[in-house]
Amino acid sequence: MSPAASPIVPEQPRQLALLALQSVYRGAYADVAVHQALQRGSLLEKDRGLFTELVYGCVRRRRTLEALIQQFVKKSPPPPLHCLLQLGLYQLRYLSHIPPSAAVNTTVELAKQNGFAGLAGLVNGVLRRYLRESEQRDPLRLPDDPIQRIGILHSFPDWIVQVWTEQFGASEAEALCQWMNQPPSIDLRINPLITSLADVQAEMEAAGVTVQLLAAAPQALRLASHVGAVDRLPGFAEGKWMVQDASAQLVAQLVDPHPDNLVIDGCAAPGGKTAHLAELMGDRGIVWACDRNPKRLQKVEENAKRLHLNSIRTLAADSRQIEQFVGEGDRVLLDVPCSGLGTLHRHADARWRQTPANIEELSVLQSELLTQGAAWVKPGGSLVYSTCTLHPRENEEVVEAFLKNQPDWEIEQPDAPWASPFLNPAGWLRVLPHHQQMDGFFMVRLRRRG
């Protein structure tokens, strides 16, 4: 280093988390705010985990933290101070590895460093009051209404709690909310055309990475611990595997494509299921990957190239308007755009962005995609409709409305052993995260009578 150069001073994770939270509450997506902060910042490696935990945790637990702030502060604090109090309360309530004194003192210092020296006493008082009350009982006061109680305690909008309660009952809905607040796991799907589960497992363990097999998905391995950048793990560059949750791996299994089929993936990007279809076909035949966003199709092509798959073709178009496949497809997959209520643990702010109005808009789009996708299937062929949501308006109701208007179609129940834990008597499959420890999914196979 030259005498004139200044050393890089590592940023503090709590300060960077405060700035990222302020960005999120101004409208930024949480994952974008985190990524940009990590790209711009100079956090030490050991501090990156705390930074991401604070941002995602505060966003995820926002309703609970806001309820506590309302209890302890008579007048609503300005937004930056609001974020500060969230950071402090989140550490006290949810991070057992951080000493309470450290959580209080660092939050008070953050207030002073960010222009709130005059309110540092308020911050100190709120956090210490929380600590005092928590010695006797949980300081969080909850309403009697069961929907609101679950929503405030587990930090979900009432409407999502209501939807899950109506489907599964109150205790199941609460268990589902609890599960969605856990850190997401990372699953890999092994490319059987160039490797095996045993070989990838051995390579991972040789590199000090512990993995576990998953009974429901025959090509899946689950990473048992945090590993940092997954694209640096053994086998990624060689195309031996790709990241895909075990639930998503079930979808291509349900499609059940055969070698030399013509398969159409109507909502393909970023291409995880497209690649899985090609693998199950032995890379023989053609898999058309359709998406209306050409840039997203580039990811499909990148995945296909890395996985050494040659049967995949891409088409940039709105699948509601594609006519060239009419009556041609042996298999069609429609993994339609949805609200993502089955994957809320992966997207910290998604529970706050979705609304009942969005659900209604999505259900219209889903119905249009299903109607057009069905036209692509040849007589005797089949179509799989799937979502990563747990809302009947996007799942059962879309399928029931389609079947009511399409007498040539019927539900075809899979008879494969892997399907039995997820199979409903009506013939569709549903993955419940808190029971199966995978993303929430809905899927059904429909057959066109020959």
Q: Annotated catalytic sites, by residue?
A: 388
- Rounded Cα distance between 22 and 84, Å, is 10
User: What sign for the dihedral angle of Cα 4, 9, 15, 16?
Assistant: positive
Determine phi and psi for 68, rounding to 5 degrees: -65, -40
Determine phi and psi for 159, rounding to 5 degrees: -65, -35
CB 116 within 8 A of CB 80: yes
Reduce the DSSP state of residue 376 to 3 states and report it: coil
- Using alpha carbons, select from 50, 61, 62 the residue that is nearest to residue 17: 50
User: What sign for the dihedral angle of Cα 404, 443, 275, 295?
Assistant: positive
Residue count (the chain): 450
Query: Which helix (H) or strand (E) segment is 262 a member of?
Result: strand 262-265
- Rounded Cα distance between 367 and 320, Å, is 10
User: What sign for the dihedral angle of Cα 241, 245, 248, 254?
Assistant: positive
- Rounded Cα distance between 166 and 449, Å, is 34
Count each helix (H run) and each strand (E run) in the chain, helices first: 18, 12
Q: What is the DSSP string of 386-441?
A: EES---TTTTHHHHHHHHHH-TTEEE-----GGGGGGB-TTS-EEE-HHHHSS--E
DSSP code of 304? H
Q: Side-chain half-sphere of 285: how many Cα atoms within 13 Å?
A: 21
DSSP code of 264? E
How far separated are the first and last CA of the chain, in Å rounded?
Answer: 76
Determine phi and psi for 314, rounding to 5 degrees: -115, 150
